[in-house]
Amino acid sequence: MSPDTGESTSSPLLVLDDIAKSFGAVAALRGVRLALHSGEAHALVGENGAGKSTLVKILAGAHAPDSGRMTLDGKPLLLRGPADARAAGIAVIYQEPTLFPDLSVAENIFMGRQPLRSLRRVDTRAMNRAAEQLFARLGVRIDPARPARGLSIADQQLVEIAKALSFDARVLVMDEPTAALSGVEVDRLFGVARSLCERGAAVLFISHRFDEVFALCQRLTVLRDGAWVSSGRTADLSVDEVVRRMVGRDVDSLFPKQEAVLRDTLLEVRGLTRAGVFSDVTFSVRGGEIVALAGLVGAGRSEVARAVFGVDRYDAGEVLVAGRALPPGNPGRAIAAGLALVPEDRRQQGLVMELSVERNATLARRAALARLGLLFGGAERAEARRWTRRLRVKTSRLTAAVGTLSGGNQQKVVLAKWLATHPRVLIIDEPTRGIDVGTKSEVHRLLSELAGEGMAILMISSELPEVLGMADRVLVMHEGRLVRELSRDEADETSVMLAATGQGAIA
Amino acid sequence: MSLSDTGVAERSTGAPSAGAGRSGRGLTERLLAVRELSLLLALGALVLVTTLRNDRFLSGQSVKDLLLGCAILVILAVGQTLVIVTRNVDLSVGSILGLVAFATGELFLAAPGTPWPVALVTGVALGAVCGAVNGGLIAVARVPALVITLGTLYAFRGVDYYWAAGQQINAADMPRSFLRLGNQTVLGVPVLFLVALVVVAVAGYYLRSYRSGRELYAIGSEPAAARLSGIPVGRRVLAVFVASGALAGLAGVLYAARFGTLDAAAGTGLELQVVAAAVVGGVAIFGGSGSVYGAALGAVLLTMIGSSLAVLRIDPFWQQAVVGALILAAIGLDRLLALRMAARLRGRSAHGA
């Protein structure tokens, strides 16, 4: 079977066939294929965790695929490291800028390839001039001699782009390069990408912004759960069709939410406003109910959750737990009132990676477990064992450092930590980001169980199938406002996606 | 980046000028140049105060003693700078120096006719082997250099003690030509100091003007990004430890030539002085910035504090306190400069984009 289903005008420049890559027990990619043609921009789309970034790392030579073939110009391509990828003419712009803060902007661009003069010495002047020319091509003014430290995110991204340009790359890979750029800068970037294409380069473009994908790319490949779904010409596709392919799977069977008896309202949020971030957010969650907060990244969902929990302040509105108003900006009181927040970024905000599983699991319960201010191992261990068993955390022993666990099991430990505080209201931000499918359904089973026991759950999720499968009600946010509330019956991919992108919203 | 790109360094140490005619030095370079300048100012102030109290401080003999006294520390500080710039540290240099110094004495005992260049090369090679052990262990065990070199600090010293078994080597056991190396002067400047100058100049020039030298800064500045940009991080770090070991070996041979009397305790505790010299000289302990010129000036300053306190008849106890205060002042200055620079760069960024 041809790796490319769109009609080919030329033989492809770079071909990936049947690529597989696993990290431990988690299969990040399997059977992935991709064909990049010279002179064309190719979009790679998929949900979070679909394997896009892993594929980028493979193209960059940072990860070696477990199996599969790569060819460049019909010749087998073996990348043993980033240096090999560079030598092959593959340039990568990473999602997160990878700069050296202490070095000058010009050196950041040309590191390892600085122009040389006699005796193989670095020619700083020529290097600065070359950097200036690159910036001129991009239409921006950044002093090549200044250090990279202190550059704005957009400027850092522009330096990355200049770096990729400086390769005269045959294959340019861009992993969400536009997230931090303004409209003008995006236009310039696209201009540069098009001129590269005209010179015969192939571009791989990864973005969540469909308007950009359709504006720039001639072909499009969809990944889902680490597997190849389809490749084709963008001209033959509509946004709806692409979205359907990205999320398409049997939603109900994967995410079982049992029917639970709805009890009293436990969490009530009225007119919550934080200037410039979100405004007039009003909703309520009843015991036994799972309410999903959906929307695009940056719509303000996590910010609402943080404000409700008291991590961030808010300018207006109020939060009530079981009918009693919560003082703003006080997480301690929120915990005492029975609120728990499982944050999105478990590595930074949810866990202490070096500490053991049991320590992490009982971290939020230290005060209750301590006797006369001292923590005794026995009490800690018993409590940790109870929750890790209930959550089926897979760990060799409770004293193992949390950092050694898989992503899914780490997430379970974070959950254990908060469940140990016996919350009445659980706010959970991206409960299954970056964890494998098996663990995902376990987390979902658990959430469903907790709701069944009468807990009120507010779930923030960017994964549509999760939202649709788990939620009794779906609240959709767009640019800081709650634009739509959908019942379980009303909610489907189209209605949620349309509301999240600000189309057809009924406020 | 770069301290090593500053013209000040060239002027202060007489390193060959590569950037002749480069104009329009950026704000950064001018700001970073402050470090070498402030070190020179501190040196000048110290000389002035001490000379006012005792005018013999600037006599020919006294200056010669000072240059002789700092040469070994300067050489070690250069090696340490190479290591620290890559976000590592080499605590074993004092032990390597001791081991090599003793080995040099033993070499002359075993083969009295050995010409001194052979001893020099042997010593450098032995130091390089010790450095390769450090670098190899760090690469294999994937343990921070701090821990590995703390281990080899004791291991190398242990080998030294076992080998020496309480024995002492005296100047009489070494050929005169070799000992002359340690005390001879050329136009009034001790040979030892000239060697140190050459080491500083070569290392400084390498760090500034060669790709692999620039890559050392990149590695220390952001190791993950260095890997992604295809820099052979492991190989470079190994090379840096070999270089640091070789320079410690060189310092060991020179130590033997200078002092003549050797036992297994030579160079004990020197590693912390070396790290102090680098830090005072503006080498960022977390890597990515600093120059060998600054580190060398730091070594000179630390040595001079010792002798000037003696001239000023201040209790040697205070010497340690002064060195400590100097380190804290240097770090404070770094922080202040960094904050100021960050503020100004932010301002420029807003205009530049």
Cβ neighbours, 10 Å, residue B95? 27
Q: What is the mean pLDDT of residues A337-344?
A: 86
Cβ neighbours, 10 Å, residue B275? 23
Q: What is the pLDDT of residue A367?
A: 62
CB < 8 Å to A104, chain B: 1-2, 28
- Name the minimum distance, in Å, from the CA of A152 to any CA of chain B: 7
Domains and CATH numbers, chain A: 14-99+151-248 (3.40.50.300), 252-500 (3.40.50.300)
Six-digit token string for B67: 């240059």
Q: Let me know: does B192 contact B2? Beta carbons within 8 Å.
A: no
Asked if residue B36 is part of any domain, the answer here is yes
Q: Let me know: does A298 contact A260? Beta carbons within 8 Å.
A: no
Q: What is the pLDDT of residue A438?
A: 63
Cβ neighbours, 10 Å, residue A494? 12
Say how far apart CA A137 and CA A191 lie, in whole Å.
10
Does the pLDDT value for residue B7 go beyond 50? Answer: no
Q: What is the pLDDT of residue B133?
A: 96
Six-digit token string for B261: 């009397």
Q: Give the rounded percent of residues in chain B with a pLDDT score beyond 70.
A: 86
Residue count of chain A: 507
Q: What is the pLDDT of residue A436?
A: 61
Residues 127-166 of A with CB under 8 A from B: 140-143, 145-147, 149-152, 154-155, 158
Query: Using CB atoms, which residue from A102, A114, A143 is nearest to B221?
Result: A102
Which residue did the predictor score with more confidence, B250 or B50? B250
Q: What is the mean pLDDT of residues A496-500?
A: 80
pLDDT band (50, 70, 90) for residue A384: confident
Residue B183: exposed, middle, or buried by beta-carbon count in 10 A (0-12, 13-18, 19+)?
middle
Beta bridge mates, A221: A44, A231
Query: Using CB atoms, which residue from A61, A149, A154 is nearest to B353?
Result: A154
Q: What is the pLDDT of residue B33?
A: 54
Q: Which of B105, B151, B251, B352 is nearest to A155 (CA)?
A: B352
Asked if residue B6 is part of any domain, the answer here is no
Going by their DSSP bridges, the two strands A171-175 and A202-206 should be labelled as: parallel
Q: Let me know: does B98 contact B292? Beta carbons within 8 Å.
A: no
Geometric angle at alpha carbon A457, from A452 and A462, rounded to 5° = 125
Which residue did the predictor score with more confidence, A242 or B345? A242
Q: What is the pLDDT of residue B107?
A: 94
Ranked by mean pLDDT, which of A163-167, A247-251, B16-20 comes out on top?
A163-167
Cβ neighbours, 10 Å, residue B265? 14
CB < 8 Å to A122, chain B: 208-211, 214
Asked if residue B265 is part of any domain, the answer here is yes
**Maximum CA extent, chain A:** 80
Geometric angle at alpha carbon B304, from B303 and B307, rounded to 5° = 95
φ/ψ of residue A294, rounded to 5: -105, 165
Query: Using CB atoms, which residue from B22, B221, B232 is nearest to A103?
Result: B221
Say how far apart CA B91 and CA A381 lie, in whole Å.
40
- Domain of residue B274, residue span: 28-334
Does the pLDDT value for residue B119 go beyond 90? Answer: yes
Report the predicted TM-score, pTM, of the whole model to 2 decimal places. 0.72
Does the pLDDT value for residue B165 go beyond 80? Answer: yes
Say how far apart CA B274 and CA B266 lie, in whole Å.
15
List of E strands, chain B: 185-186, 189-190
Q: Give the rounded percent of residues in chain B with a pLDDT score beyond 90.
A: 50
pLDDT band (50, 70, 90) for residue A499: confident
Q: What is the pLDDT of residue B76?
A: 97
Sheet holding A339-342, edge to edge: A339-342, A425-429, A456-460, A290-294, A473-478, A481-487
* Interface with B, mutate which of A102, A123, A149 (most B CBs under 10 A): A102
Contact A103 B341 (CB under 8 A): no
Asked if residue B268 is part of any domain, the answer here is yes
Asked if residue B341 is part of any domain, the answer here is no
Say how far apart CA B3 and CA B10 lie, in whole Å.
11
CATH number of B197's domain: 1.10.3470
pLDDT band (50, 70, 90) for residue B27: low
Segment among A355-364, A496-505, B177-186 with least mean pLDDT: A496-505
Contact B209 A94 (CB under 8 A): no
Alpha-carbon torsion angle A185, A186, A192, A197, nearest 10: 180
Please state, rounded to an integer, the average pLDDT across all residues of chain A: 83
- The number of domains in chain B is 1
Does the pLDDT value for residue B1 go beyond 50? Answer: no
Q: What is the mean pLDDT of residues A84-102?
A: 86
CB < 8 Å to B32, chain A: none
Q: What is the pLDDT of residue B120?
A: 95
Q: What is the pLDDT of residue A42?
A: 95
Q: What is the pLDDT of residue B347?
A: 56
CB < 8 Å to B1, chain A: 100, 102-104, 107, 147
Asked if residue B3 is part of any domain, the answer here is no
Contact B348 A107 (CB under 8 A): no
Contact A98 B19 (CB under 8 A): no
Q: Let me know: does B244 contact B260? Beta carbons within 8 Å.
A: no
SS3 state at A473: strand
Please state, rounded to an integer, the average pLDDT across all residues of chain B: 84
Q: What is the pLDDT of residue B22?
A: 39
Q: Let me know: does B71 contact B252? Beta carbons within 8 Å.
A: no
pLDDT digits (tens, 9 = 90+) for B221-272: 999 889 888 899 999 999 999 999 999 999 999 999 999 888 889 999 999 9
Residue A327, CA distances (Å) to A187, A312, A426 in order: 46, 12, 18
Geometric angle at alpha carbon A124, from A118 and A130, rounded to 5° = 105
Asked if residue B229 is part of any domain, the answer here is yes
Q: Which of B103, B225, B92 is nearest to B150 (CA)?
A: B92
pLDDT band (50, 70, 90) for residue B16: very low
Q: What is the mean pLDDT of residues A45-60?
A: 83
Q: What is the mean pLDDT of residues B34-49?
A: 82
Does the pLDDT value for residue A2 go beyond 70? Answer: no
Asked if residue B340 is part of any domain, the answer here is no
Residue count of chain B: 353
SS3 state at B32: helix
